Structure 1
Amino acid sequence: MKTIQINGLDKPVTTLIQGSDYFKPDIYEKVCQVLDRYVAIGGNTIDTAYVYCGGESEVAIGMWLKERDNREDIVILTKGAHHDQDGPRVNPDAINHDLFESLERLGTEYIDLYALHRDDPDVPVSVIIDALNEHIEAGRVKAIGASNWTTARIEEANEYASANGLVGFSFSSPNLSLAKVNEPFWKGCVSTDRNGLKWHEKTQMPILSWSSQARGFFTGKFTPDDRSNKDLVRVFYSEANWDRMKRAEQMAEEKGVTVIQIALAYVLNQAFPTCALIGARNDHELVSCFEGSEIELTREEVEWLENGELAD
């Protein structure tokens, strides 16, 4: 499987990152089946978060890591400081609380990739970067990133880090998909727009994209007339996205692959390093994602899929 490098981490990161938002100890056999097969096809990176399944996702992953005795072979991406019923929690106390509990659940002494799950623009970046650097210095975190942060806030944070001899964010985890959003899927979420793509190309900061396949939009199960999935209608139904669907269908036929594989290839063939978080739940879905990750697209093909015209 193809890999990218992320600053601060010695291990390579595979371009397909296995998601775990449905992992629980009570379905541990299924967790093992998915993770064992994911590793067998070359994957090495697992995405989780403090809030997934009330913490059970991290517990299940920790069980698997211990049983397989493969911690040093696996890259763990986990996230903390998600808001709660009282509002934003992006502050040193919340970061400390969530990180230490994540370490305990996962049964590990360090997190390879630690991301803040949300942002709170009211908190100065200096406070956040200072707090995260304490964990880097203590060896509890190898590399830090931002999930659902704007590029402007990431840039501000990294400018502060650079000016003060500290470690800044080395990856971002917004939504990036061929289908462009009408509005955020969840409040406080960030999707990569045209300006975001240009910024990432300029900085070469990697994107680890969630909902990289637009939550099944390109599976062929949905049509403009089928409005049964209210969230998908709200977020992805638009004339421009149906046009992208048609172009993806045309390219898939020409290349002898599936439409959803073309959608995945779009994410993984940007002009900067990218990975795709996938929610595979069985062997068929894993193999489909792997085959999609192997498709190579030219810059012109990527531009045509998105906009129906060639790149400048």
Structure 2
Amino acid sequence: MKYIDIAGAGMPCSKLVLGTDYYKPDIMDKIGPILDAFTDMGGNAIDTAHIYGGGNSERALGLWMESRNNRDRVLILTKGAHHNRDGPRVTAAHIAQDLEESLERLRTDYIDLYALHRDDPTQPVGGIVEALNAHIDAGRIRAIGASNWTHQRLQEANEYAAAHGLVGFSFSSPNLSLAKPNEPRWEGCVSADEAACDWHERVQMPLLSWSSQAGGFFSGRFSPEKTDDKEAVRVYYSDANWERLRRSRELAERKGATPIQIACAYVLCQPFPACALVGPQSPEELRSSAAALAIELSRDELEWLDLRSDRAPL
């Protein structure tokens, strides 16, 4: 396993982050071996959210940590303040409500990495940062971040924190993948574009990418003629992405890897601290993703894969 540092987390964060959006207590026989295999290979960062499965993802993780007695050896990334049918919920009251419920479900008294699941640009960043700092001061949160925030809002929030002697965001969790989405996969989602990646490189803020493997776009299951998966068609089908897939296959053949491992390595090898969230359905799928950790991609290879250069790297 490889690791990055996230300010405030308390321990290094594994570059593979285990996604658990489909987890629930009644499938512990399936997910327990995946969680065990992940920690056995040195993984320690596990992603969940207040809304996943109506709270069942967090409940399942709480049961697993309790049964393994390993809470002090894992980094829990959970998210709150997601909007609902009534609209945005990025307020101090909703953050407190969601956090309290997440702590209870997870059977813990602190969250290592706490992220706001969505943004509400109508809310001033100052009040949001102050609300999160109150929970840091109370020991309920160790490090704060944001999922699906633009880099401009992140910078604004951290400038406010610095000016007021507060703890700022120490990580971001947008989408970043080799396949570029035509439109957001889910409402309110943010993908890291070229400007966002340039900003992350400049400030070296860690990026924890969800859908790092683009919903399996590089798995071999998709082709321009196969249009039964409407979400994949809507989000990822484009001439540019088919060319990225072709290039990933070419590079995979040269490196003795698979295209989906190249796609995962594309995230892991960015010129800033980056982690890839993966959601394997079995220990075997997990081990396939973990093989990407051994793949080194040069800047020339990254730019060629991403169509920023037409000159194939030697």
Which TM-score band applies after superposition, normalised by the shorter structure? over 0.9
CA distance in 2, matches of 1:117, 1:53: 15
CA spacing shift, 1:308–1:166, aligned 2, 3 Å: closer
Q: For residues 224-257 of structure 1, what are the alpha-carbon distances to aligned partners after superposition, in whole Å with 9 as ceiling and x for unaligned?
A: 1111111111111111110101110000000111
The within-5 A match list for 1:1-312 is 1-307=1-307, 309=309
Structure 1 counterpart SS, 2:217: helix
CA distance in 1, matches of 2:48, 2:286: 17
Q: For residues 79-113 of structure 1, what are the alpha-carbon distances to aligned partners after superposition, in whole Å with 9 as ceiling and x for unaligned?
A: 00001111100000000000011001101110000
CA distance in 1, matches of 2:9, 2:259: 33
Structure 2 counterpart SS, 1:226: coil
CA distance in 2, matches of 1:248, 1:25: 37
Structure 2 counterpart SS, 1:264: helix
The structure 1 segments of at least 4 consecutive aligned residues displaced by more than 3 Å after TM superposition are none
CA distance in 2, matches of 1:137, 1:174: 26
CA distance in 2, matches of 1:226, 1:5: 41
CA spacing shift, 1:193–1:308, aligned 2, 3 Å: closer
Q: How far off its partner does 1:214 sit? A: 0.3
Q: How far off its partner does 1:308 sit? A: 5.3
CA distance in 2, matches of 1:90, 1:229: 33
Q: For residues 157-212 of structure 1, what are the alpha-carbon distances to aligned partners after superposition, in whole Å with 9 as ceiling and x for unaligned?
A: 00000000000100000000000111100110000111111000001001100000
Q: What runs of 5+ residues in structure 2 fail to find an aligned partner?
A: none
CA distance in 1, matches of 2:124, 2:297: 40
Structure 2 counterpart SS, 1:21: coil
Determine what percentage of the aligned residue pairs are the same residue: 59
Q: How far off its partner does 1:29 sit? A: 1.4
The normalised TM-score by structure 1 is 0.98
> Aligned-residue CA RMSD in angstroms?
1.0
Q: For residues 46-104 of structure 1, what are the alpha-carbon distances to aligned partners after superposition, in whole Å with 9 as ceiling and x for unaligned?
A: 10000000001101100011110000000000000001111100000000000011001
CA distance in 2, matches of 1:13, 1:294: 17
